[in-house]
Amino acid sequence: MTTSSNSNEVGIEVCLSSKIEEAVRYPYDRGCQLMTFMTRVVKVSESILRQSRRGFIGQYDLTDWCRVAVILAKKKMQRDIDYPFEHSIPEIKELMRQFLRENGTIYDFSGSKMPVDLVGFDQFLDVFYPHASGFDYSIEQSNEYYGNLKRRHPMLRYLGDERLIRRRSAALDWNKCRAGQQLALHGSFYFHPQTRIGRGDVVFDVGAAPGDFTSVSMGEGAGEVHAFEPDHDGQEKLRAVMELNGEFIIAPFFVGEIDNSSNRQISLDSYCKENRIDNVDFIKVDIEGAERSLLRGARRVLLRDQPKLVICTYHLINDQKILPRIILNANPEYRIVKGRSVLYACVPES
């Protein structure tokens, strides 16, 4: 924030929270995604800020205001959404038991270790099972894997499909998620045959909590992992993952186009310069709709290092069109493949 006063920080959160309750009557029962809700909240908060003419609200710039809106919205939705799936997919639960170690306190997915309480069905199916099974991560295998999963478990919904679904009965319904009747997955792997982590690679995991991708990166042989996570609870989860997998770097920052020390925001270009990082090999990004801003703040890295990229594309409308443009504007040599909910990008070896 632009002020260090705790009372003012509490004040803006209380004020904004009440404004959200007044201004946002979002229909949770219409298959909306969490990020769609958050985007709506940001738009409402922008309108509130522009209309404000007095009071402490005016002490905060638009970035501060919107960031608080997003954090509040996310916390509200996380309180509302609880996934009681243990009674819903016994077959998957039994499959997960095969990876339990140390009296059931940790999972070991072919060298990627996680505390039991940090692995849900979604992380298991999207990240850990494909890693432990030695998948080749081709688009064909992705389509077959997720197609078979949905046929066996009709309760599954894939985030990347939401734009395309026209049948109400097939849409993601957060009320059904809360009741344990649906489970939302990415519906795409985090890897592709041309975007794999190599032994010794320098990896940036941006939006790292609860540590699933960081853990798999270590298991894939990454030499150095920078896990970007601004949330304190998320950082604690990453420390628990570090105890099981070895040392990596927790970067406690938001990542965007510009640096803003008051918000703990930094660009990837600045982060590399300040920490004297000469080469980045792989970047994974899942940051709740801020992917465009991150890419604009990584132009030098994309041109200089040509890292392999895996970027989530389901948070904002048209991300599948806009994110590739930003990447190609920074470095036209990139070749891009689009998955259901992520894009994969790499510069072919000459």
**What gap in Å lies between CA 120 and CA 90, rounded to an integer?**
13
- Taking the chain (350 residues) in runs of 10, the rounded mean pLDDT of each run is 44 50 38 47 53 42 53 50 51 91 94 94 93 95 92 84 55 70 86 96 96 96 96 95 97 94 93 97 94 97 98 90 97 96 93
CATH 3.40.50.150-classified regions of the chain: 202-346
Q: What is the pLDDT, as a whole number, of residue 35?
A: 46
Amino acid 324 reads: P
Assign domain 202-346 one CATH number from 3.40.50.150, 3.30.70.240, 3.40.190.10, 1.10.3720.10: 3.40.50.150
Residues 171, 162: contact at Cβ < 8 Å? Answer: yes
Question: Can you spell out the DSSP letters for 11-61?
Answer: HHHHHHHHHHHHH----GGG---HHHHHHHHHHHHHHHHHH--SSGGGGS-
pLDDT digits (tens, 9 = 90+) for 250-276: 999 999 999 998 889 999 999 999 999
Helix axes of 212-219 and 232-245: crossing angle, nearest 10 degrees: 20
Per-residue tokens: 192? 């592709």
Q: What is the pLDDT, as a whole number, of residue 42?
A: 55
Q: Strand order in 335-338's β-sheet?
A: 249-251, 224-228, 202-206, 282-285, 308-312, 342-346, 335-338
Q: What is the pLDDT, as a whole number, of residue 240?
A: 97
Please identify which residue in the block is written with the tokens 């270590």.
218
Residue 200 Rama label (left phi>0; alpha psi -120 to 50; beta):
left
pLDDT digits (tens, 9 = 90+) for 157-200: 888 775 544 555 556 776 777 667 788 888 899 999 999 999 99
Per-residue tokens: 142? 């992705």
**What gap in Å lies between CA 244 and CA 227, rounded to an integer?**
15
Please identify which residue in the block is written with the tokens 């990876």.
99
- Find, among 72, 322, 303, 82, the residue nearest to 182 by Cα: 82
